[in-house]
Amino acid sequence: MVNTCSAVGCTNRAKKGGNIKFHRFPTETNRRKKWIQAMKRMKLDDPSQLWEP
């Protein structure tokens, strides 16, 4: 189960009885790449590269 949001600046976390849903990143390569690109999140140690979940 995914417990936290991966978006930059988002502080949402899973709560028992809460109404927010979280989803895992897809395992299928092309769809996963699209999700990562859509997040526009960069690596902390190398800001020129996209973050990997």
1 pLDDT more than 70: no
Output the CA torsion 27→23→53→7 (10° steps).
140
Contact 53, 36 (CB under 8 A): yes
What's the pLDDT score for residue 18?
86
* Sequence spans of domains, the chain: 1-53
Q: Render pLDDT for 20-39 as a digit per residue (tens, 0 to 9).
A: 888 899 999 999 999 999 98
Please tell me whether the overall predicted TM-score, pTM, comes out greater than 0.75 for this model. Answer: no
Through-space distance between the first and last CA atoms of the chain, rounded to whole angstroms:
14
